[in-house]
Amino acid sequence: MKTEEFKLLFEAKSILEKNWREEYTIPSPKLYPHQWSWDSGFISIGYSHYDQDRAQKEILSMFEGQWANGMLPHIIFRGGKGYFPSAEYWQTELSEHSPEIKTSGITQPPVHALAALHVYKNSSDNEEAISFLKKIFPKILLFHRYLLTKRDPENSGMATIFHPWESGLDNSLRWDEPLARIKVEDLPQYKRVDTENVSSDQRPTDEDYDRYLYLIEVMKKNNYDEEKIYKVIPFKIKDITFNSILYAANQAMIKIAGILGQDSEEIDSWVKRTKINYFEYFCPDASENPLLYDYDLIGRKRIEKRTVASLTSLCTDLLSSKQAKALAAWMKHSHMCKEECAHEHPVITSISVDDIQFNPINYWRGPVWININWMLYEGMKNYGLFEDAKNLKKSIIDLITEHGFYEYYNPLTGEGLGADNFSWTAALLVDLISHRED
């Protein structure tokens, strides 16, 4: 290992140490002082290379907030202050399924089975790792069952999201049209906290926030009852990224079931349903168009926006070799990285840089995010695109080396944006450096 990599690893581990809170890790001290769902999944992958105890605790502690119906909330409120919407705002006690611990009332992409499998594979103590899998397997199974029943009344094998925050890509331009049809009514007064810590130029607009909170109000008025919400909520999307992750997570669950000697018949049935309907929902003719798009259930059409989400089917095994190569080629196209980007092999932007709405500093409307780039790196390896994966890995490491451990980055300059000392950036850097196979 090079001296530079040793220094980078030391810094990454130091950030994770500072953000560790006994049984879980906060994403960052100021902007995100609680525990976030998919953050914990990514963070555990980093820990798995050097601290198995923390890696396992990270995932298990997130499931302390799991609802009785299987829903895994995107936030567990664990004592930190200065965040909005707060636990009091969510009022999750309105649901008969909510736990005693305070949580949000929505979910996030289900990366946890993938993370658990990484933890298992990186463990040197097989007995301890299997014990961990035995604890987490039924919890993740219950979560996936919730997503593919309560969130999939169409029986499509794809879950429906009720809120942009459930996508993980909060203010992506993919949501502009679905959100535009929402007429905000009777919204309680509120005060944002995020723009006190980060410039408003880097965050969603106040108009966005009004709509985000209106959707929460709809859920609260219906006591977080999915059947009732499904009939009235004005935002219902089959999200390509969420469901690509869910499919890959179900494949991981089949592997975990095999390790544990558990029956996987139910999971197999979910995978089969997804295979049947995936391209029908997300791309009518995948052989001609390599990009896949979210499906708007209310608008009854695909949301044809060129964003990084259109590339995330690389995280599945559903593509042909030709389709995978076409998506990898698209990443190198000027749509996703201009010549003046920060590095020789630029990391992938969150939306097409030639889109009129491209904004290099605003959250999911242009900046580079490490977690999505890491997912694409993993996906390219799975399709045997090793040279492309190697180049992307180098670009990610170069970006962090030169500009620090930030939440997201300006793709034109490399400048770090959002929260500093960001945990999943540190954790995924640990993973990238720790793997020597490429």
Domains along the chain with CATH numbers: 3-434 (1.50.10.10)
Q: Which residues of the chain have pLDDT under 50?
A: none
- Sign, Cα dihedral of 162, 168, 169, 171: positive
Catalytic pick among 170, 208, 210, 398: 170
Choosing from 39, 239, 388, 407, the catalytic residue is 407
How far is residue 43's CA from residue 54's CA, in Å, rounded to a whole number? 10
In this prediction, residue 186 carries a pLDDT of: 85
**Rg over CA atoms, the chain:** 20
Q: Is 170 a catalytic residue?
A: yes
pLDDT in tens, 239-275: 999 999 999 999 999 999 999 999 999 999 999 999 9
- Cα within 13 Å of Cα(420), Cβ side: 7
pLDDT confidence of residue 202: 84
Q: How far apart are CA 88 and CA 105, in angstroms?
A: 11
- At position 329, the amino acid (one-letter code) is A
Which are the contacts of 215, defined by CB distance < 8 A and separation ≥ 6?
162, 163, 182, 233, 234, 235
pLDDT value of residue 331: 82
What pairs with residue 75 in β-bridges?
36
The residue behind tokens 């020789």 is: 344
Per-residue HEC secondary structure of the chain comes to: CCHHHHHHHHHHHHHHHHHECCCCECCECCCECCEEHHHHHHHHHHHCCCCHHHHHHHHHHHHHHCCCCCCCCCEECCCCCCCCCCHHHHCHHHCCCCCCCCECCCCCCCCHHHHHHHHHHCCCCHHHHHHHHHHHHHHHHHHHHHHCCCCCCCCCCCCEECCHHHHCCCCCHHHHHHHHCCCCCCCCCCCCCHHHHCCHHHCCCHHHHHHHHHHHHHHHHCCCCHHHHHHHCCCCEECHHHHHHHHHHHHHHHHHHHHHCCCCHHHHHHHHHHHHHHHHHHCCCCCCCCCCCEEECCCCEEECCCEHHHHHHHHCCCCCHHHHHHHHHHHCCCCCCCCCCCCCCCCCECECCCCCCCCCCCCCCCCECHHHHHHHHHHHHHCCCHHHHHHHHHHHHHHHHHHCCEEEECCCCCCEEEEECCHHHHHHHHHHHHCCCC
The residue assigned the tokens 């003046």 is: 340
Look at residues 33, 28, 20, 127 and name the one whose alpha carbon lies nearest to residue 82: 33
Q: 82, 41, 22: which is closest to 419 by C-alpha?
A: 82
pLDDT digits (tens, 9 = 90+) for 66-119: 999 999 999 999 977 789 999 999 999 999 999 999 999 999 999 999 999 999
Q: What is the pTM of this model?
A: 0.97
Longest CA pairwise span in the chain (Å): 58
Q: How many CB atoms lie within 10 A of CB 291?
A: 21
